[in-house]
Chains A and B, each alone.
Chain A
C-alpha cells in the first residue's frame, strides 16, 4: 500500500546489463551474459528493500549498477528524481555523496595501510565537507559512537579489529556523508552468526534514528531478509520473479521459486519441522549465457505447463502491492 505521500528515493526501470562474451583476436562478440535482464522496482524513503536470490542471479550486479560501478546496457535509474543512468563521472560526484555501499567482506573493504579514523573520514574529505581537521575529527568521533565503537580506537589499523568491528567501521564510513541510500551487499554473509545479529540490529537502529535513510539489502539468507526488510524482491536468473511486502511474502508466497525457497528454511521446532513440506527443485540454475526460452524457471518448476516455454511472464500486480511473474498464479 504505497500512498502518494510516500516519497520514492530510487526508481529502477527495465534495467538491463549484458556483458558481451568475446572470442578470438578481433574480440568478436559471440554472445551476451544477461546478468540483469529487465528489472523494475521502486525504493521508498526510509524503506528497506530486500533483494534475494541464489548466487549468480544478478543481485550484486543490480546494486553495482545503481551505484554506477557498472554502466547499464539499457533502462533507467532515477535517484531522488534525477536520471543518473547516463550522467558523466564528474557530474555524478554530487550524487555519489548521497549513496553509499557496505560490502560483504569486511577484510578487503578497508585499506590495510590507513587508520580507522582516516577510513571513516575518507568520504567526507573527498567531498570536502568541512574546513578544519578538528571538524573532521569531531564528526568521526560522532560516527564511531553511532555505530557502537569506542572513539579511542580511531588511530588503530584495520588488522587490529575483529570482523564485526570492521563491519561497524564500514557502516560508519557509509554513514559519513549522511546518504539517502545505502546498498548493503550481503553485509553479514562473512560474519559469525552472533555478530550477524548485532550488525543487523545496528542497521535497523540507525534507520530508525536517521530520517530518510533507505537500504537496498542484498542477501541470500531469507530469514535475515525477513527480519530487516519492509519489502522483498526475489530474483531468479537476472529477473525479479516476485516482489511484495515482507510479511505477505513469507505468509503467502505465490511464485513456485519463492515457495521452494521458503520451504527450505528449517523451522526451530522439532514437531513442526517434521511436518514441514519441502519442495526440492531438480536440476541446476541454467547459465545466464544460454537461458531457457520463455519463463527461465520452467525447466525446474513443479507447476510448469508446456505454455511456460513460450513467453516470458511479465511481472504483474495481483493486488495488495504484490507482484509476481508467473503464468500459473
Chain B
C-alpha cells in the first residue's frame, strides 16, 4: 500500500469532505418534515423569481388588462388591482424584488460586518474598542427603525432600500463574528501559525474564517427571511420600492383599503411573504442542526 504511493498520486489540495459526511448532512437536513417543506418552498420561490417572465400570464406593469378590482377568473387567477393590473403576474414578479433585496442585502451586510468583526476580534486592543463601540451605538436603534430612518432620508427605490437594510444588518454580523473570532484565535493552531511567521491576513483567512463559517452560514439563511419581511414592511409603509415596481409589501398596502371588496389583493402577497419567510427560517434551522458538531453522531 505504502510502496505503491508515488509522489504523483498524492495531491493534497483541500480534499473533498467524505461522502458519508455529506450523506449524514443530507439525512439530518431533510429528515425533519418542516425543513424539507421549507427547502421545497425556497426552491419554488427561487425558480419563480428566475423564470418570472415565462410564468407570468400577463405584463405585471400593464394597466387595464381587465376592469379594476376584478374578481379571480380563469383569465386572471387572482383578479386584478385598482389599476386593472394582473395580481398573479405582479405576485410572480414580486418574488424577484423580495429575493433581490434579501440576497444583495445579506451579502453586503455579511461582507462588511464579518470583515469588521474579524479585524476587531483578531487584533483586539484599540481596533476592537473602536469598532465595537461604534457597532454598539448602531445597535441601540431597533433594526427596522434604523432602516426606516435611512430609507426616509435617502428616499425610496430598490437601491436605497438595500443600502438602508444592509446598514442596519451590519452590527449583527460584526458582533457574532467578533465573538467567535475571540474564541477561535485562542486555539494553538492560530498561535502556531503566528509563530511560524505567517502574516495576519494569512492566519485570519486560513485558520479563523473557515472555523467560524458554519454559524455565519446559518445566520445568513435565517436573516434572509427577516430581510424579506423588513423589505415588505418598508414597502408597506410606502418608503420601499417605488411604484410601479412589484413588491409584496407594497401590494399588501395597496390592497388593504379594499379588504372587504377584494380581500385577495392583500391576502395573496401576505401569504407569499409568510411562506417565503417560513421557508428561509426553516432552512436556517435545518442547517443549524445539520452543521452543529455537537449533534454529530446523534442525529
Binding site for B on A (CB under 8 A): 67, 69, 92-94, 96-97, 99-101, 103, 105, 108-115, 117-118, 121-123, 126-127, 133-134, 137-138, 140-141, 150-152, 154-155, 157, 173, 177
Whole-angstrom distance from the CB of B206 to the nearest CB of chain A?
A: 7
> A67 — which chain B residues lie within 8 A by C-beta?
195
Whole-angstrom distance from the CB of A65 to the nearest CB of chain B?
A: 12
- Does any Cβ of A come within 8 Å of B115's Cβ? no
- Does any Cβ of A come within 8 Å of B189's Cβ? yes
Q: CB distance A134 to B188 under 8 Å? A: no
- Does any Cβ of A come within 8 Å of B22's Cβ? no
Q: CB distance A109 to B12 under 8 Å? A: no
Query: How far is it, in angstroms, between the C-alpha of A109 and the C-alpha of B210 when the chains are bound?
Result: 15
**Given A109-B188, A113-B211, A126-B193, list of 6 further CB < 8 A pairs?**
A69-B195, A109-B192, A110-B189, A123-B197, A137-B11, A140-B12
- Does any Cβ of A come within 8 Å of B196's Cβ? yes
- Does any Cβ of A come within 8 Å of B10's Cβ? yes
Query: How far is it, in angstroms, between the C-alpha of A122 and the C-alpha of B192 when the chains are bound?
Result: 10
Query: How far is it, in angstroms, between the C-alpha of A101 and the C-alpha of B191 when the chains are bound?
Result: 10
Q: CB distance B206 to A111 under 8 Å? A: yes
> B11 — which chain A residues lie within 8 A by C-beta?
133, 137
Whole-angstrom distance from the CB of B185 to the nearest CB of chain A?
A: 12
> B12 — which chain A residues lie within 8 A by C-beta?
115, 117-118, 121, 137, 140, 154-155
Tell me the nearest residue of chain A to B12, going by C-beta: A117
By the criterion of a CB under 8 Å from any partner CB, how many residues of chain B are at the interface? 26
Q: CB distance B10 to A141 under 8 Å? A: yes
> A100 — which chain B residues lie within 8 A by C-beta?
195-196
- CB contacts under 8 Å to A, within B175-199, are 187-189, 191-198
Given A133-B11, A137-B10, A111-B211 contact (CB < 8 Å): yes
Q: CB distance B189 to A101 under 8 Å? A: no
Whole-angstrom distance from the CB of A147 to the nearest CB of chain B?
A: 14
Q: CB distance A118 to B196 under 8 Å? A: no
> B202 — which chain A residues lie within 8 A by C-beta?
126
> B206 — which chain A residues lie within 8 A by C-beta?
111, 114, 122
Whole-angstrom distance from the CB of A191 to the nearest CB of chain B?
A: 15
Query: How far is it, in angstroms, between the C-alpha of A173 and the C-alpha of B188 when the chains are bound?
Result: 13
> A151 — which chain B residues lie within 8 A by C-beta?
2, 5, 10
- CB contacts under 8 Å to A, within B188-231, are 188-189, 191-198, 202, 206-207, 210-211
Q: CB distance A122 to B193 under 8 Å? A: yes
Q: CB distance A109 to B14 under 8 Å? A: no
> A92 — which chain B residues lie within 8 A by C-beta?
197
- Does any Cβ of A come within 8 Å of B1's Cβ? yes
Query: How far is it, in angstroms, between the C-alpha of A150 and the C-alpha of B3 when the chains are bound?
Result: 10
Given A111-B210, A151-B2, A152-B1, A118-B14 contact (CB < 8 Å): yes
| A/B interface sample: 22 pairs, CB < 8 A | A67-B195, A92-B197, A99-B195, A109-B188, A110-B189, A111-B187, A112-B211, A113-B211, A114-B206, A122-B198, A126-B196, A126-B197, A127-B197, A134-B7, A134-B8, A137-B12, A140-B10, A140-B12, A151-B2, A152-B1, A155-B15, A177-B196
